[in-house]
Amino acid sequence: MIKEMTCILCPMGCRLTVSGPAEDPESWKVSGNGCPRGVGHALREMTHPMRTLTTCLRVRGGEKQMVSVKTSVPIPKERLLDVMALLKGTIVPAPISLGQVLVPHVGGLEADLIATAPVLGKKEGPSSP
C-alpha cells in the first residue's frame, strides 16, 4: 500500500508518502517529511483522520442573517456530513458573542460549535439620545 498526502501542520506543505502492508499499520513507513511532526500527522491521517468543521448558521433577530461557526476541537472526518445534516435548519438567536457556544456537544461528540464572529441584535425602533 502506498498513500500520498500533503502535510498541513505548517506552511511548508511537505508531500508525504506512507508505505507498507495495509494490514500492518505498525510497519508503515513515512517519507517526505521535513520535520518529525509530519510522521505523526501522516500516521494519524491514515488511522483516524480528524477535521475542524467550519460552516455558518442562520441567526434570528440579528443585524446579520448568518454567523460563522467552527467546532471547538477537530471531529472524526467520517462524521462531517452527519454533523452538517444535523445542523441544517438550525437557527440561533442574537446577540451572539465571539467564542460563544451555540451548539454544545454537536452530534453527540466532545466538540462544541462556537461562534467565530459576533452578531449584534437588531435595534428595535429609533434610538434615543
* 25-70 residue pLDDT tens: 889 999 999 999 999 999 999 999 999 999 999 999 999 999 999 9
Q: pLDDT grade, residue 128 (50/70/90)?
A: very low
* CATH code assigned at 103: 3.10.530.10
Q: Residue 75 belongs to what domain range?
A: 54-115
Burial 25-51 (b: 16+ CB within 10 A, else e): eeebebeebeeeebbebbeebbeeebe
User: Does 122 reside within a domain?
Assistant: no
The number of distinct structural domains making up the chain is: 2
The C-alpha atoms of residue 6 and residue 38 are separated, in whole angstroms, by 9
Q: Kindly report the pTM of this predicted structure.
A: 0.81
Residues 69, 113: contact at Cβ < 8 Å? yes
Residue 34 in domain: yes
- Flag whether 26 is in a domain: yes
Q: How confident is the model at residue 127 (pLDDT cuts 50, 70, 90)?
A: low
pLDDT by residue (tens digit) across 70-114? Answer: 999 999 999 999 999 999 999 999 999 999 999 999 999 999 999
